[in-house]
Amino acid sequence: MKTVGQNSTSKLLLIGDGFSAFGTWIDFIAILTLSAYQYHVSSIEMAVVSAAMLLPGILLAPVIGRICDQRDPKQILLLSIIFRVLCTAGVLLLQNFGAFLILISLRSIFASVAPPAINVMAIRSLNQTALPKFYSVLNILNSAAKIIAPALGTISSSLSSEAFALIMSAVFSSASFAAFSMVRTQSVSRQDEQRHSTTKETSITTMMPFLWIAGSYAFFVFMVNNLVPVALERSGFDKSLLGILISCSGAGNILSGIWLAKKSATGISSSLSGRPSETLTPALLQALGFAVIALLLWSEINHKAYILPVVFFFIGTVSARYAIALNIHMSTHHGHSIGAASGALQSAQNIMILLAPMLGAIVLDKAGAAGLFATAAATAFLLYALFIAMQALGMLKFQHSKA
């Protein structure tokens, strides 16, 4: 009966996360569209909009994560969804740009609740052996949302209006609320709260290796990601190639996630156990993929447009492995404080999303598309070589604390 209960909890968490992810991405596209077409913002104002969508979450995600560790994450998550829907309604009703900025800043805070809250609920409700399959399916859903939801948001905005897209986002968010509300979670005793408070400092001091791996990955990936369209255009490729490359990367990510989920479900392999090499290896393989792209763009060989989709498919497969392994790493090394770890991860990733594209743009202008991919790969190899050296010297040590 316990297994049946865990299966039900896992399904509800995954359904809720899927709806939440779709709502968040549709929201994101609608907000950008509103900024450009309703408020007619300048490039500087668009930068302010982007900062409003990221900075509040960066600042508060670690605090939110610790609160999820110490309190009932289900109630916190449900409240955040309600307030996120109210922010969406406010964006629809108000026509003032200042109020718009305030609302999307609040939305950023409420949207940052989902990852730590879901991770805490999963850790408290599922066995360690069930986590690889759970995180594999979670990665599939989030990848599908990144691919499909922006298209839904763009199409709905084009055919109807941004208001319709925001209403669609609210519907998805409401569906996630319904799914999460049916999840049964374990309550936190006062003894647990004391344990969380005493391990918080330890968790922070031992979180650096984990954040180094994740932050380095986000930095070299986002140095390239948003600039791929410009890089392709400057390399003389047809614009249709962009869609093919995105589709290949997405297909590789989803298929890899399905394969890992099936392996976990059948018990064929329990190779994901939280070892640092399990996140380092796919990260380095993705950097190797960037190096191959750089060589292709530098070379004079024919049929580059046929080889690049294969490389992007490979990058998609290893990125799925990385994302799943990272979550297993968190649950193994920071099981007692996974909310704080998730919040810190969000902050680190969002900081890189803000900073890395700026460096990437400079490299692209100075060294071209091949130089951009080569620099991203070299940055990854350098950061991870430094990580391995510091770990060997005992300067970076991992905490091991299963929930």
Task: Determine the Cα–Cα distance for residues 11 and 390; give it in Å rounded to an integer.
Answer: 40
pLDDT score at 244? 87
- At 283-328, the pLDDT tens digits run 999 999 999 999 999 988 888 889 999 999 999 999 999 998 888 8
pLDDT score at 34? 83
- At 323-377, the pLDDT tens digits run 988 888 888 877 778 888 888 888 888 899 888 988 999 999 999 999 999 999 9
Q: How far is CA 382 from CA 29, 43, 194, 323, 375, in A?
A: 35, 34, 40, 21, 10
Task: Mark the ranges of the chain whose per-residue pLDDT is less than 50.
Answer: 1, 188-202, 268-269, 401-403
What does the domain layout of the chain look like in residue ranges? Answer: 1-188, 197-403
Task: Determine the Cα–Cα distance for residues 107 and 122; give it in Å rounded to an integer.
Answer: 24
- Three-state DSSP class for 119? helix
The class of domain 1-188 in CATH terms is: mainly alpha
Task: Determine the Cα–Cα distance for residues 332 and 83; give it in Å rounded to an integer.
Answer: 32
From the number of C-beta atoms within 10 Å of its C-beta (0-12, 13-18, 19+), residue 201 rates as exposed
Q: Which CATH superfamily is domain 197-403 in?
A: MFS general substrate transporter like domains (1.20.1250.20)
Task: Determine the Cα–Cα distance for residues 192 and 120; give it in Å rounded to an integer.
Answer: 13
pLDDT score at 172? 92
pLDDT score at 268? 47
pLDDT score at 199? 43
Question: Which are the contacts of 121, defined by CB distance < 8 A and separation ≥ 6?
Answer: 9, 13, 73, 74, 77, 183, 185
